[in-house]
Amino acid sequence: MEDRKGRRIIMFPLPFPGHLNPMLQLAGIFHRRGFSVIVIHTSFNFPDPSRHPHFTFRTVGDENTLTQSEASGLDLVGLLRELNHRFAEPFRRALAEETAEEESGEAVSCLVSDAIWGFAGEVADEVRVSRMVLRTGGAASFCAFAAFPLLRDKGYLPIQDSRLEEPVTELPPLKVKDLPVIETSKPGELYRIVSDMVKGVKSSSGAIWNTFEDLEGPPLDDLRSQFRDVPIFPIGPFHKHLEDFKPTENQESINAWLDKQEPRSAVYVSFGSLAAISREEFLEIAWGLSNSGQSFVCVIRQGFVRGTEWIEALPRGFVEKLGQKGKFVKWANQHDVLSHRAVGAFWTHCGWNSTLESICEGVPMICTPCFTDQHVNSRYVSDVWRVGVRLERSEMDRWQIEKVIRRVMVESFGYEMRERSLKLKERAEICLGQDGSSSKSLDRLVSHVLSFDSSFAFASERIS
């Protein structure tokens, strides 16, 4: 660990696993470089501090927290709006107190906030602390978000069903159906959230991306061209900078099951932490997996299948008939599963963290995107990097599922895709080496953070 005694970094994650986990991974990277880390977190979806003993956690918003029942009644746009509304003032107070503390003798180097926190820039200006942003999605999807005004002017947004297969000529290789939108009753609110996110990056003292040059070189170059005054630091994949957590008892059970499978014979299935499907969709997934003849481990978290607690929608005797060919679980350590020799494909929603983890382990993907940047990621997986195949939710009947799984797992098409996946894995490993692009970018990031001093220059003066 390098000596950065007396330098603190304050981090403010969005309280969803897909945003929280990379923020905590980034915190671990900074800590390994010698910084002390304070995590300011909302009282909604608060993480377990015991898993991160090296960080100091501070909860904000207890007096006006958002309950799970309130959150369940909102769509994602409404939930983001409510989070920004409820936690702006508690965060303002917390950041002011942290930056005013003198007894520790540690100066605050900067704030690192999730790019979706629309108010973080204004608050950082008020307390005169430099602010960097973390974008937890990929560079390509952010290019699409940044193009929203153009896409609206060109008539691509709002999306019309009659144009779904039409190419977006301004954002190749995307089609209209790939644009990162969310189904909501208030599209104007979605555009405002996206606009605030893009403006927040533009007014920041630097943007950190969980990606690497060999994966997203052209989109990163586009961002550098659009945001010329904002230093950009692609230092990913974050999780490969750090040691994984020890497996839990539940993970040991999964590993024991995987150990009994043949190499590259099992399909790992997980659709992330936010997506939800109907009972009918779940039954098609279960029958398609079973009929494929391939071994599988499938994560069914609570709330994933609407109206059920877990897998009670399955026909009586279904699980028993599977025997050792299939395993349903409520949770899995995804890093451990994807790195296991038995896993030959990952059926995924194509969230950015899952996409990166699969790439890093050389595992081909079956992509079923659900919303926002998952559509962009899926298009790049299938058409640019060519390490996966798309299976749209509208195509998810048991026969099509069986066909796609067999195509990826046992046909020559799947073998060729696996070869490309392994080559991309090698490039991910190279970028983290001593002379790799991500390692060099991390060195630049550390130097950049250390360059911040007490005479905070307002970001608005820099970009005006």
What is the model's pLDDT at position 464?
A: 39
pLDDT digits (tens, 9 = 90+) for 107-119: 899 999 999 999 9
- pLDDT band at residue 68 under the 50/70/90 scheme: confident
| Strand, helix or coil for residue 107 | strand
How high is the pLDDT of residue 459? 40
Task: Look over the chain and give the mean of its residue pLDDT values, rounded to a whole number.
Answer: 92
Q: Is 462 a residue whose pLDDT tops 90?
A: no
Q: Encode pLDDT of 37-56 as tens digits.
A: 999 999 999 899 999 999 99
Q: Is the pLDDT of residue 2 over 70?
A: no
Section 305-316 average pLDDT: 94
Within 8 A by CB and 6+ apart from 188, the residues are none
pLDDT at 69 over 90: no
Q: How deeply is 309 buried, as exposed, middle or buried, from its count of CB atoms within 10 A (0-12, 13-18, 19+)?
A: exposed
In whole angstroms, what is the distance from residue 322 CA to residue 409 CA?
Answer: 19
| Cα gap 33→3, rounded to integer Å | 7
Looking up tokens 């009670």 gives 312
Higher pLDDT, 100 or 367: 367
H helix and E strand count, the chain: 18, 13
Q: What percent of the chain has pLDDT over 90?
A: 84
Distance CA 203, CA 121 (A): 7
Average pLDDT over residues 299-318: 94
The DSSP secondary structure of 237-253, one letter per residue, reads -GGGGSPPPPP-HHHHH
pLDDT above 70 as % of the chain: 93
247, amino acid identity? P
- Over the stretch 243-298, which tens digit does the pLDDT of each residue have? 654 555 568 889 999 999 999 999 999 999 888 999 999 999 999 999 999 999 99
More confident position, 192 or 463: 192
What does the pLDDT average to over 220-246?
Answer: 90
The answer on pLDDT for 183 being more than 50 is yes
Give the model's pLDDT for residue 243: 62
> How confident is the model at residue 455, as a pLDDT?
39
159: three-class secondary structure by DSSP: coil
Task: Report d(CA 348, CA 183) in Å as an integer.
Answer: 20
Cβ atoms within 10 A of the Cβ of 23, count?
A: 24
Which residues neighbour 153 within 8 Å (Cβ) at sequence distance 6 or greater? none
pLDDT at 451 > cutoff 90: yes
Instruction: Give the C-alpha separation, 363 to 358, whole Å.
Output: 5
Domains of the chain, start order:
7-236+432-456 (3.40.50.2000), 249-428 (3.40.50.2000)
CA distance 207 to 377: 20
Instruction: Give the DSSP letter string of 400-435.
Output: HHHHHHHHHHTSHHHHHHHHHHHHHHHHHHHHTSTT
Amino acid 107: pLDDT: 82
Q: Which region among 124-133, 300-309, 448-457 has the lowest average model confidence (pLDDT)?
A: 448-457
What type of residue is 159? I
For residues 402-408, give the mean pLDDT: 97
> Where does residue 180 fall: left (phi above 0), alpha (psi -120 to 50 degrees), or beta otherwise?
beta
Question: What residues contact residue 452 under an 8 Å CB cut-off, 6+ apart?
Answer: 109, 110, 130, 205
Average pLDDT for 359-366: 98
Higher pLDDT, 431 or 249: 431
133, pLDDT greater than 80: yes
Q: Please list the helix, strand and coil fractions of the chain in percent, rounded to the nearest 5, in that order.
A: 50, 15, 35
How far, in Å, CA of 121 to CA of 265, rounded?
48
Give residue-wise pLDDT tens across range 159-171.
999 999 999 999 9
Residue 460's pLDDT band, with cuts at 50, 70 and 90, is: very low
Asked whether the predicted pLDDT for residue 138 surpasses 60, the reply is yes
Q: How far is C-alpha 432 from the chain's CA centre? A: 19
